Structure 1
Amino acid sequence: MADIWLETGLSGTPALFTYTEIPIALVVLAIVALLKLIRNNHVAMVVNHALILVGFLLCFCTSLAYANQMLEPITWMVLNGIGLYLAYVPFTSSLFERLIATFNRPANVGFLTYLADSFGYLGTVGVMLYQSVSTSEVNWNTFLTQLSIVSGLVGGVLTLGSLLFFIKKEREERSNSPALPLAGAIN
């Protein structure tokens, strides 16, 4: 993050980290907290997917706008951060719980969360390896912008595919088992 600020010309201000990270934390925390108010697991599964999709689209759109100099660096970092965490936090904190409850399967959300987190850490290691073996100087501002555009687009498509898959799967299960209700409420 310090390297990104350096490349935008805004380095040397420690308060910049606080100024950008607090709004991100508050917005994402409020949205994820509101997810707990949804009692119907099917609805919550769809809303989780929608939030993840909005997060990816926010990353894509704001990074594209920033790359075309339509957004200031601070605005971009806040909006991109909200998008990144909006895609990540519902995915690792409540989507798996709601999927398990929607399909009424015995499962352990801990394993699924661990598996998802491990891929996140693998991505971090990949970036560090790239930095270590790259012979050219890495412009982290450009790197984050391009990564946000690509991951926003790819993540959005995959999230939409996931949502459509699970909706279809739930309909198939309901049609094969008339006794199965449409995702009951959480106890």
Structure 2
Amino acid sequence: MSTLTANPSTLSKKQVLTALYAASVAFLTYASVYAYRKPFTVATFEGLSFWGVKYQVLLIMSQGLGYMFSKFYGIKFIAELKRLGRWKTSAILVGSAWFCLLLFGLVPAPWGLPCMFVNGFMLGFMWGIVFSYVEGRKTTDFIGAAMAVSFIFAGGFTRSVALWLKESWQVPEQWLAFVTGLIFSLPLIFFMYLLERIPPPDGDDIKERTVRLPMTKEQRLKFLRLFGAGTIAIIITYLFLTVMRDVRDNFMSNLWSELGYGQKPEVFTKTETITSIVILIMISLLVGIRKNIRAFRLVHIMVLVGFLLAGISSALFLAGLMNGAVWMQLVGLGLYMGYIPFNCIFFERLIASFKIVGNVGFLIYLVDAYGYLGSTLVMLSKEIFQIKLTWSQFYPAGVVIFSVIGIGGTIFSLLYFNRKFESLKPV
């Protein structure tokens, strides 16, 4: 956080305090939202299968499909989101998602599938809504990083809570998600109230990062025509990042169990907290870089290093040269080095570099939609084609392959936007 005060001539005391406040609130808000999404994955539903596919996998894919459809719809919904009434929209979305978890606890398998589909659809809009409170500021890199690492931390922490409920309180598997949501309900209401009190970007923020406004269909098409090839490269790169990150996130419990750590709830929180802190420090260092195009280039380098770390560590694990715990830590760090920037700083600096009047939400939801489509297809293919590999065998092999493709996409994106910047020469 010291980076926020590293250049006092460009950041006022008010901006520093606002950044710290906004970062804390955004982190806590989205971490609480995560309690309604991921805790059910600690339930394995052993022995339950339908249509030749494990019930746990069907539930994860069902929620993922809902999440994916919300991303496709969110391209329009989030891009055109008005600033007034966002808290009401959030209350309806999270409340509906929680109600679906109540129904999930009440209905027998496989009727939980539509419940998880609607749950995923409702929650899929929340990232864009929360991020709309913090974009377009000099300190958005830091605030966005804090918000983005919330789902690394929350993915581990909320699972630890769910596993604690299961092991210590004997909460049945079908009720784990609802009860975990109950625990986080009051904190979420309080944090949403604090989110509403975040001051809007000031004049200096707008001058440096451009004004952030809803984008019409015509404006969205204009952006795609101008940056078509670069956008395709970003989508492909992010697709593979999402697949690798999402499979690890959804089947984290399976992976740790296969590696011999299944009965240690603290392992989820410990590893993900370490990753969260490292990523937050790395991205917050970019706050001190005032020149947007320079920061945009450095983000590409960070993504490249992330792919290399994930790919090399997975290759070493497959070769028996690295133990499972170290591999899980390193592959997670590498993937989030690539994944987190796309969710908080990559598009923020892209818009600022090219002086685009619009919002980050449109771009995040555009790449997210295809990312979750890819994730669902990979999970489904493992079941349909009866790939006889455990997750700890299937996953690292996929990471190695996808990392190679991701490196190529990232290099293409860097070269493309560099040439585009030189040809357009934004003022």
TM-score by length of 1: 0.86
Q: What per-residue deviation string (whole Å, max 9, x for no partner) do you get for residues 23-67 of structure 1?
A: 111111221222222211011101111111111111111111111
Which of these residues, 319, 330, 336, is aligned with residue 85 of structure 1? 336
Unaligned runs of 5+ in 1: 175-179, 182-187
Q: Which secondary structure does the structure 2 equivalent of 1:36 belong to?
A: helix
Hey, what's the Cα distance between the residues in 2 that align with 1:13 and 1:134? 32
The answer on whether the counterparts of 2:259 and 2:325 sit within 8 Å (CA) in structure 1 is no
Cα–Cα, structure 1 residues 112 and 73, in superposed 2: closer, same or farther, change >3 Å? same
| Structure 2 CA distance for aligned equivalents of residues 145 and 128 of structure 1 | 14
Matching residue of 1:152: 403
Give per-residue Cα distances to partners, 1:68-87, cap 9 Å, x unaligned. 11211111111110111110
Report the AA paired with residue 151 of structure 1: F
| 1:45-84 to 2 correspondences below 5 Å | 45-84=296-335
Q: Determine the structure 2 residue equivalent to 1:169.
A: 420
Residues 311 and 400, structure 2, Cα contact 8 Å, conserved in 1: yes
CA 1:134 to 1:6, structure 2 compared with 1: closer, same or farther past 3 Å? farther
For structure 2, the 5+ residue unaligned runs are 1-251
Q: How does 1:81-160 map to 2 (within 5 A)?
A: 81-160=332-411
Structure with greater contact order relative to length (CA < 8 Å, sep ≥ 6): 1
1:161 and 1:65 mapped to 2: Cα distance?
27
- Cα drift, residue 11 of structure 1: 2.4
Q: Within 1, Cα distance between the matches of 2:320 and 2:373?
A: 31
User: Which sits farther off after the overlay, 49-58 or 117-126?
Assistant: 117-126
The residue identity in structure 1 corresponding to 2:277 is L
Instruction: Please name the residue that 1:19 is paired with.
Output: 270
Contact 1:92 1:117 in 2 (8 A): no
What percentage of residue pairs aligned between the two structures are identical? 38
* RMSD over equivalenced CA pairs, Å: 1.7
Q: What SS does the aligned partner of 2:261 have?
A: coil
SS in 2 for 1:113: helix
Mapped contact 1:58–1:152 kept (Cα < 8 A):
no
Q: Which has the higher Rg, Structure 1 or Structure 2? A: 2
CA offsets per residue over residues 83-132 of structure 1, 9 Å max, x none? 11110111221111211211222233211011122223223322332244
Could you say which residue in structure 1 is the equivalent of 2:261?
Answer: 10
Q: 2 CA distance for matches of 1:129 and 1:89?
A: 25
Amino acid at match of 1:130: S
> Partner of 2:283 in structure 1?
32
Tell me how far apart the structure 1 counterparts of residues 415 and 346 of structure 2 sit (CA, whole Å): 14
- Which deviations, in whole Å up to 9, do the C-alpha atoms of 1:126-168 show, x marking residues without a partner? 2332244243444101121012111211111110110011111
Which amino acid in structure 1 is aligned with residue 407 of structure 2? G
Deviates more, 1:15-24 or 1:127-136: 127-136
Q: Across the two proteins, how many residue pairs are aligned to each other? A: 176
